[in-house]
Amino acid sequence: MRCLLAALNAKYIHSNLGVYSLKAYGEKQVPGLLVEIGEYTINHQMDQVLQDLYLRRPDFLGFSCYIWNISYVLELGRDLSRLLPHTAIWLGGPEVSWRAEELMAEEPWIAGVMAGEGEATFAELMKVLTEEKGGLKDVDGIVWRRGDTIVRNRPRAPISMDELPFCYDRLEDFKNRIIYYESSRGCPFSCSYCLSSIDKSVRFRSLETVKRELDFFLDHGVPQVKFIDRTFNCKKSHSMAIWNHILRHDNGVTNFHFEISADLLDEEELELLGKMRPGLVQFEIGVQSTNPKTLAAIRRKTDLKRLENAVAAINRAHNIHQHLDLIAGLPHEDYESFRRSFDGVYRMRPEQLQLGFLKVLSGSYMMEAAEEYGLVYRGCPPYEVLRTRWLSYDEVIRLKGVEEMVEVYYNSRQFTETIEALTEEFDGPFRCFEALADYYGRKGLSGMSHSRLARYEILYRFVQEQGFDGAKYRDLLITDLYLRENAKSRPFFAPDLREHKEELRRFYSGRKTRQSIHAEPLEDGRILVFDYNCRDPLTGNAAVREERRENGSRPPHKLESQGIEG
């Protein structure tokens, strides 16, 4: 039997651990089974994906289904069922596990669904289909068709994490792509919007196995390993052992990404994390809201003060990139409450602040409570909230504008000096991004693709309209422009450097290339010298030396956030 597992990823750099894990486990358990992998992205032309799947002509085709790809999977499945009527098409993954019966009733071409954890289910299903021993009625964890009846078998019992084979023996298949790795499954928390809350038990891969597999990545210089554990640090002995191991065996190249609960970190853990090479690890931290009533409603236990202290301690060490998340559309969170949550998280100064929107997932408690909370959400994936009892759709639209501005002007890290000063001009950071979103809307700039240079010019025009100090913000914007790179093009508001040719000559004399530094005269009386051979190991920004010009006054804005020398 020719078996093909297909994955439609969001981007090329992503890989799908699920299909590789099914393949590795299935081939280990079923003698003679050979499983092909087909990985594509949702950015491919679906006609090209359809052609490739058709030309492979599998007897069994399994799709890995998530909220970001289910529409494409259903489109492909409908067409393939007509082109390959003898191919059994099965689905699996979180997007289909909890609504399998509904989906199979709507889509008669679906032969079955593997619900929940898939490795053992897939292996047993392959035994039945290839060896023709037993029947589908005996395979735990599937939903299947018995004539005109759709049958859900009993759930699959979880297997030991150490039974799962290592999937990355052929690293050439993952060149230039993120490696996803799991050292545990399950989550001890009960967040009402998350499917992981359904199974509160947590299973861990043995530390000996994890260390051996991490050494494989380190020995091969893999650029990034992204742990997909739902709350990596829920068991201190486990997380500490892994962090100690990667610290001792750091190869100077590999980065490890972890999703953690920062309020669980204690002094011992923070001390260890403070020893990490800048860039060795990075954290994703779900705050979601700072409204206590909201946190109680979504069943999320968070000690906000401890979380804030932990984030601050990590910031002081300046060696770990922190990505903090907020979710708009949660119960009891109106527009003003969300503004306060945003400002509270923003002032923790993460490297990235993700403003996401509630997704009402099948099987989650949030879907069960949709009527109580007045949740209106999209009828198609990703089932994003449109309005709630506390938040109107007009306000959701406004928050979408704020989200865009945060992505462009904060998360890009291209405007750090300017935005730090600009947010101080408003009654809190949220009001700054809200005003920017309003400006983009009035000028017809939203939803468009703008060059990096254009973003600087738009921001300068916004500053002008607001009536803020133009000279101050010209200096800040120019500083931000050259922190990242020795830009060849300059915005319209930048001074003509030809007028300062003699003044700047001394900074370039004796250098083989002028690309290694850039000297910029500012209106406040300083000259900033950017050194691109010496960069901040965490941010990648150029080191900056500040020099005084003749008759220069003290600068009105001290650039402390970049560690600029005075």
For the chain, report the end-to-end CA distance as a whole number of angstroms: 71
Q: Does the pLDDT at position 566 exceed 50?
A: no
| 400/404 Cα distance (integer angstroms) | 6
Pull the structure tokens for residue 262: 């920062």
Rounded Cα–Cα distance for residues 557 and 456 (Å): 19
Beta strand pairing call for 112-114 and 88-92: parallel
The widest CA-to-CA distance across the chain, in whole angstroms, is: 91
Residue pair 405/447 in contact (Cβ under 8 Å)? The answer is no
Q: Do domains 3-152 and 178-391 have the same CATH topology?
A: no
For 209, phi then psi, to 5°, come to: -70, -45
Q: What Å distances lie between residue 84 and 57, 87, 109, 110, 518, CA to CA?
A: 7, 6, 11, 13, 62
Residue 17 DSSP SS3: helix
Show the tokens assigned to 378: 């999209």
Which of 197-211, 345-359, 391-405, 546-560 shows the lowest mean pLDDT across its residues? 546-560
Q: Is the dihedral of CA 130, 133, 135, 136 positive or negative?
A: negative
DSSP state at residue 284: E
Can you say how many angstroms the Cα of residue 484 is from the centroid of all Cα atoms in its chain? 22
Q: How many other C-beta atoms lie within 10 A of the C-beta of residue 199? A: 16
444 with 438: CB under 8 angstroms? no
Residue 70 in contact with residue 89, Cβ under 8 Å? no
Q: Give, in degrees to the nearest 5, the angle at Cα 15 between 41 and 67.
A: 60
∠356-321-357 over CA atoms, to 5°? Answer: 5
Give the CATH number of domain 178-391; options: 3.80.30.20, 3.30.390.30, 3.30.420.40, 1.10.260.40. 3.80.30.20
**pLDDT band for position 191 (cuts 50, 70, 90):** confident
Listed by start position, the domains of the chain span 3-152, 178-391
pLDDT digits (tens, 9 = 90+) for 137-146: 999 999 999 9
The C-alpha atoms of residue 428 and residue 147 are separated, in whole angstroms, by: 62
- Look at the chain and count its residues: 566
Q: Decide: helix, strand or coil at residue 262.
A: helix
Residue 558 has pLDDT above 70, yes or no: no
Instruction: Decide if pLDDT at 557 tops 70.
Output: no
Name the pLDDT band for 49 (thresholds 50, 70, 90).
very high
Distance (Å) of CA 314 to CA 271, 281, 307: 9, 11, 11
How confident is residue 190, by pLDDT bands cut at 50, 70 and 90?
Answer: low
8 A C-beta contact, residue 195 and residue 116: no
Interhelix angle 470-484/452-466, rounded to 10 degrees, is 160
Residue 553 banded pLDDT, cuts 50, 70, 90: very low
Tokens of 223: 């650029």
DSSP 402-432: HHHHHIIIIIT-SSHHHHHHHHTTSSSHHHH
Which CATH entry fits the domain spanning 3-152: 3.40.50.2300, 1.20.120.1200, 3.20.20.140, 3.40.50.1820?
3.40.50.2300
pLDDT in tens, 76-100: 999 999 999 999 999 999 999 999 9
d(C-alpha 136, C-alpha 418), whole Å: 62
Helices (H), 284-424: 292-297, 304-317, 335-346, 365-368, 370-373, 393-406, 416-423
Task: Tell me what the pLDDT averaged over the chain comes to.
Answer: 92
Q: In sequence order, what DSSP letters do the residues of 129-142 get, joined into one string? A: HHH--S-GGG-TTE
Q: How are strands ordered across the β-sheet holding 526-535?
A: 517-521, 526-535, 542-548
For the whole model, what pTM was predicted? 0.91
> Residue 556 has what pLDDT?
45
pLDDT in tens, 476-512: 999 999 999 999 999 999 999 988 888 888 888 776 6
User: For 358-399, what is each residue's pLDDT tens digit?
Assistant: 999 888 889 999 999 999 999 988 999 999 999 999 999 999
Give 239-282 pLDDT, tens digit per residue. 999 999 999 999 999 999 999 999 999 999 999 999 999 999 99
Residue 199 pLDDT > 50: yes
Return the beta strands (E) in 426-541 as ranges: 517-521, 526-535
Q: Determine the 3-state secondary structure of 203 from DSSP.
A: strand
Distance between CA atoms of residues 414 and 435, nearest Å: 19
Distance in angstroms (rounded) separating the CA atoms of residues 191 and 186: 12
Instruction: Quote the CA–CA distance of 388 and 294 in Å, as a whole number.
Output: 13
Give residue 396's pLDDT: 98
Alpha-carbon gap, residue 154 to 141, rounded angstroms: 6
475: Cβ–Cβ under 8 A, 6 or more apart, which residues?
A: 522, 523, 524, 555, 557
